[in-house]
A and B are shown apart, each in its own frame.
Chain A
Amino acid sequence: MSEGNAEPKLARINIDGKDYQVPDGMNLVDACESVGVEIPHYCYHSHLSVAGNCRMCLVEMGMPMRDRATGEPVLDDDGVQKIGWMPKPAIACASNAKDGTYIKTQSPLVKSCREGVMEFLLVNHPLDCPICDQAGECRLQEFSTDYGRGFSRYVEEKNVKPKRTELGPRVTLDDERCILCSRCVRFCEEIDENPVLGFIERGSHSTLTCFPGKKLDSNYSLNTVDICPVGALTSTDFRFKMRVWFLKPTKSICTESSAGVNTEVWSREGKIYRITPRRNDEVNDSWMADSGRALYHTVEAEDRMKRFRIDGQVCTLGEATLRARELIQVGTVAYVASGKLSVEEQYSLRKLVEKEPGRVTFVAHTQDGDGRLISNDATPNVRGGLVTGLIKQLPVTELEALRDKLAAGEVKTVVSLGEDLIAAGIPPEMLKKANLVYLGTHRNATSDIAKVVIPTLTVFEKSGTFINQQFRLQKFAQAVPGPAGLLPDVWILDMILAECEGAKCARPSTPQVWARMAEEVPAFAGLSYAKIPDTGVLLDGSAYAELPFPETKGWHYEPAAEPATASSKF
């Protein structure tokens, strides 16, 4: 894991005759990768301990020679210091970059080592590539094009092992494909801290299996599928669904909790097939919870709303926004939103609130986090509401204040941005009497009785930014187009605002919204959408340090204030 050295000491290493500067003590495989030299490897993973069992990363290693007695450099005939090469190759993954390390990654010896390792690994490997889900992102496939023979000298029968073992509810094992790198075993032990996997039998009969009576059923089990360098561990959800070379990865952010896990959304022709974690050493390393990977199913859910409606009748977008404006201007208005909105949407809502003032309430969605990558806050962007100035206080679980106002007739219109008000404690009869404008993606009890329903887009269908629990501003890109006719929430809010002002809606793109936000929101000064790196920007959250956020300690997160218990009301 990352070590917070203020000034990393640099080491000068020589790779294939060229000098490079890398952080001192960095693993040699990582060090070579950081300067663009690939050392093929299977068992090594930057976030796991070193096992050194695949032997694929063998390189020649040496140090400048010094005389044992005097310590004087030993020079060759040209007066250059001699390099003392070790007589046999060494594995790069078990070596660290130290000043003066010399390695050869392309010498004939290294190449023959790799060819030898590849041949042994392929001895019992089945000819499964046409049916294997890993094909296209398989390290074994990649390196066999580089170092494989192209044919097999092995004439004996290959080993037979179980082909579809269910290790857990989400992971299926094809044991014949396993190359025994033990990455999954180490993940369960070191990262998940739930050791359930191990090898049984000996030699080429070695088999990956769960311990007796145990199952690979942790909420982090699918990470073993990601780190499996071959197609042995497969995701039951994604199994045989689509070949990976058709899938387009889009950088996104998981909305499961305020941890803000970096993800990649893999889609083809507007359909999402899977979600995998994206490496960000400051947030989620290389990991992600299984529950977050299933969120893409909501895109094609049965209860997805696709039509604009007024009083239950289908209407056009123009009619819906016009009616929304009429209802908002009837009398006192109240807005209900939450941290599910992106920063841009919260900013656009603030603009609308400035024009048509009304009380803004955020609904809290708390959950029992796991102290890792699922925090206690089930929304990704409560801090965005604070930073954009939309809210001053933390979200509430019960909308008591709004209910009292509705009962007293002080509030005539409620605008809900994806919030189920009935679930938040407002009786349906009361809502039916008020003018309810609902913007959201999926049907619920509240949207069913709303006077105006404007369907919006899910996180996969729009671009924007979230601010996670560390106050890290992270952006997500649009992976797939939304249902026909639906527009980004920012545009909808802008259209209603334009209706109120009698102006024309400009339909701003995300970078255009950012250009405006950078001027108006102090925390975003000097930022632009393009300037936010893929790993995010850490904002200064010290102004909000006193607020009792519900999050407790998690991976890469230390709460600043005393955490409030999940059940308390703020």
Chain B
Amino acid sequence: MAKVVERKPLSFLEKTYIPQIVGGLTITLKNVFRPKVTLQYPEERPPIPQGYRGIPALVKDPHGREKCVSCQLCEFVCPPKAIRITPGEIAEGSENEHVEKAPEDFEINMLRCIYCGLCQEVCPEEAIFLQGDFNSLVGTTREEFVNHKDKLYELGGTRPDEHYKWDKKKEAAEQAAAGGHH
């Protein structure tokens, strides 16, 4: 059933619009004498609160190793399906061959991203972080809003590591190869 909403006719005073104009100008005048709150972005930047969820990006560990192993859990958990990973293998003989797996390409579509932070939460390798910084997105084509692997590492930079899980693994393997107790 369609519901009919009754609309009261305007009173005489309302029809003149004078009270509304006066009311509006009062607010304007009040604000003229208040301190300024407008920021001259991008010259001036707002303070970023703790736990701010900015643009998602990939990080490297302090030794420069790319932390992502392309397990694709973030791709799986991402609610708007903004992430797309092409998994790849680390070639034998490379410095990180013991990690075996790394993304061949990693795309985050910033037109889709809703900055929910689930990718960061789910990542078992602590490789993806939402930047605690303010990044404006500007572009003229859709393609410009898709961040690929290079761009993501550029944005993410290096983060301290608490575990060095893979370094420990490599160390253990080297010890074993050298005839350790293994």
Interface residues of A (CB under 8 A from B): 126-127, 129-131, 135, 157-160, 163-164, 239-243, 245-246
Contacts and interface: CB of A to CB of B under 8 A. Distances in A.
Interface in B22-67: none
| Most chain B CB neighbours (cut-off 10 Å) among A126, A159, A242, A243 | A243
A131 B172 contact: no
Contacts of B87: 240-243
Contacts of B88: 240
Interface string B110-153: 00000000000000110000000000000000000000000000
Given A157-B172, A160-B173, A164-B100, 14 more contacts: A129-B71, A129-B124, A130-B69, A131-B69, A131-B71, A131-B101, A160-B182, A163-B100, A164-B92, A240-B101, A242-B87, A243-B71, A245-B76, A246-B76
B71 A130 contact: yes
Contacts of A163: 98, 100
A268 to B, nearest CB: 11
B100 A131 contact: yes
Interface residues of B, number: 24
Nearest to B176: A160
A48 to B, nearest CB: 30
B165 A127 contact: yes
Contacts of B100: 131, 163-164, 240
A486 B121 CA distance: 43
A157 B182 contact: yes
Closest 5 CB pairs of A and B: A130-B71, A160-B176, A131-B101, A243-B72, A130-B124
B182 A159 contact: yes
A160 B72 CA distance: 26
Nearest to A239: B89
Contacts of B172: 157-158, 160
Interface string B63-107: 000000111110110000000000111001000001111000000
Contacts of A240: 70, 87-89, 100-101
12 contacts: A130-B69, A130-B71, A130-B73, A130-B124, A131-B100, A131-B101, A157-B172, A158-B172, A159-B182, A160-B173, A160-B182, A243-B76
A325 to B, nearest CB: 45
| Most chain A CB neighbours (cut-off 10 Å) among B88, B89, B99, B175 | B89
Nearest to B165: A127
